[in-house]
Structure 1
Amino acid sequence: MPVRESVTRTSALVRHNLLLMLREPGPLLSRMILPLVFLTLLRPLYVAAQGRAAGTEQAVVGTLVTFSLLALSISGGAILTERLGRTWDRLRGTSVHPAEMLVGKAVPVFVALLAQQLLIIGFGVCAFGVSVPHPLPLLGVLLSWSATLLGLGALAGVLVRSMGELSAAYDIGGMLLSSLGGALVPLAVLPHWVAAVAPISPGYWAVRGLRAALAGDIRTSVAASGTLLAVALACGALASVRLRGRGGRLVAL
């Protein structure tokens, strides 16, 4: 059956891409370990400025959003590697559909992004006593934010032309989106114009959604999740358009 064959091919691609990621674990491990070090070292500063509960929450949320944006290197690099290696061209003449290739590449990256965020939240709960009274809204925000990161990374991966350009994109772009979103520094203490333009940053909606979920504000967390999913869909659509050449065929560069 065509559907069963498609699922089989997609599953094989997911396993293959997962193995490729695990064979070069350095970038993945750094994105997992560095946030925990950063959180441990910076939390006392936030606690001194905002109090124990508020400071700890700021540290956890800020670390999660900042380092997950820097993890755009994982999703962007996954796409760019295939482009530079001309893998798209080699698979084009096979029975593998472009959508199957993209799903096979996206699923391991999505799992890695979500795992990073769950690790940071879990570390905050176990090490610093962060309270998560409403886990389902929190999980909804994390899933939406992971989808957004996947879309942003894919878009970066199809627009840049080299690993150097990708590195600059996620370093500069990640810190910019994080800062505009109020992840590292609360918007209340930043210049007024920063707060005015903050909603254009996906990081703003991630911070807003995470804080609302931790506080039990379901309506705000759902609204933030919806905004993040809209951004994810828009970025994914743009990335797909860029990957498709005339006649709906994938292009390498």
Structure 2
Amino acid sequence: MSTKSRALTRVLLRDDLRDWSTLIFTFIFPSVLLVVLILTIADRVPGMDLTGEISSNVIAFGASFVGIFSGASHLATWRENGMFTVMRTFPLSSRTVLTCQARSGVVMLITQAALLVVVAVSMGMRLKVTALAAVIPLALGYLLFFTLGVLLGILLPTMAGVSMAANVIILGLGFLGGAIMPVTLLPHWAQIVAPWTPIYHLREAATMPLIGVGTWIKAGTGMAYLLGVTALLAIVSERTMRWE
């Protein structure tokens, strides 16, 4: 990693850590959501404890949330304050800028995931010995939504517009993908739509290694989906942002 790249990564991470709204929505909101969902619907299905599934769903949702805002927020802010134009004069490629953004977001992702796991375990989630392998689908899900966030940051003119669009997308996909509520408890039409959404596949890929619910075939299918869509969005976002 070059000196310029390390410096930009540190600047981006420092900005995130100084932004109270980022800290609240990255750490406090998903933690509160996890506790509320476990307390309200963990015993909704007679004879079943949904604590583990709810926990893995919220962890997947959190990774998506971090991803889309890591990709969008800095670009939108730079566009508003004129820094986007200034940065075009620096000897930095679009790939370098995006990589630095992704690195700073990964720090937030790892911290958030660790926090949510601690909260979930304290609420009754039982981890499997393969739990650490869930890092792979969580990272892929993060990158998928990161690239989607980059597109929002490039295409929308204001931070307010980016925030609104990102929230609508992430909350909508979170609901339809079964992250906010288990798919079995969703309306019938939502259960039909769910398998077409990225958060659904992120959940499938992360839940099996994390708590042992599902099948490895479904987890593998989810990984393939995440990898393919992420690669496609990465190509589109890099070419859209190209400024060399």
What's the TM-score, normalizing by structure 1?
Answer: 0.83
Q: Are 1:215 and 2:212 counterparts? A: yes
Work out the CA distance in 2 between the residues paired with 1:83 and 1:95: 18
Aligned counterpart, 1:133: 129
Report 1:163-174 matches (<5 A).
163-174=159-170
Work out the CA distance in 2 between the residues paired with 1:195 and 1:11: 44
Aligned counterpart, 2:158: 162
Change (3 A) 1:235 1:54: farther
Change (3 A) 1:197 1:27: same
Aligned pair count? 241
Aligned counterpart, 1:59: 54
Aligned counterpart, 2:139: 143
1:174-233 deviation digits (Å, cap 9, x = unpaired):
111111112223333434432332232111101211222221744432331232122222
The amino acid across from 1:36 in the alignment is S
Contact 1:77 1:163 in 2 (8 A): yes
**Of 96, 99, 106, the match for 2:95:** 99
Work out the CA distance in 2 between the residues paired with 1:70 and 1:52: 32
**Of 11, 27, 40, the match for 1:32:** 27
Work out the CA distance in 2 between the residues paired with 1:151 and 1:159: 12
Change (3 A) 1:187 1:115: same
Work out the CA distance in 2 between the residues paired with 1:138 and 1:198: 21
**Alpha-carbon RMSD:** 2.4
Aligned counterpart, 1:17: 12
Shift of 1:40: 1.6
Work out the CA distance in 1 between the residues paired with 2:180 and 2:62: 11
Contact 1:27 1:74 in 2 (8 A): no
Work out the CA distance in 2 between the residues paired with 1:47 and 1:102: 39
Contact 2:144 2:230 in 1 (8 A): yes
Q: After the TM superposition, which parts of structure 1 deviate over 6 Å for at least 4 consecutive aligned residues?
A: none
Aligned counterpart, 1:3: none
Work out the CA distance in 2 between the residues paired with 1:240 and 1:100: 10
The amino acid across from 1:154 in the alignment is V
Shift of 1:68: 3.9
1:35-66 deviation digits (Å, cap 9, x = unpaired):
22222222122222136864102321232234
Q: Are 1:240 and 2:235 counterparts? A: no
- Return 138-147 or 208-217, whichever deviates more: 208-217
Report 1:153-232 matches (<5 A).
153-213=149-209, 214-215=211-212, 217-232=215-230
Contact 2:71 2:146 in 1 (8 A): yes
Query: Could you say what secondary structure the match of 1:50 adopts?
Result: coil
Work out the CA distance in 2 between the residues paired with 1:203 and 1:128: 23
Work out the CA distance in 1 between the residues paired with 2:123 and 2:189: 36
Percentage identity across paired residues of the two chains: 22
Change (3 A) 1:75 1:96: closer
| Unmatched tracts of structure 1, length 5 or more | 1-5
Change (3 A) 1:24 1:168: closer
Shift of 1:121: 2.0
The amino acid across from 1:241 in the alignment is R
Give the greater-gyration-radius structure (CA): 1
Shift of 1:172: 1.3
1:57-98 deviation digits (Å, cap 9, x = unpaired):
232123223444444334311221122233333232332233
Query: Could you say what secondary structure the match of 1:13 adopts?
Result: helix
Contact 2:201 2:226 in 1 (8 A): yes
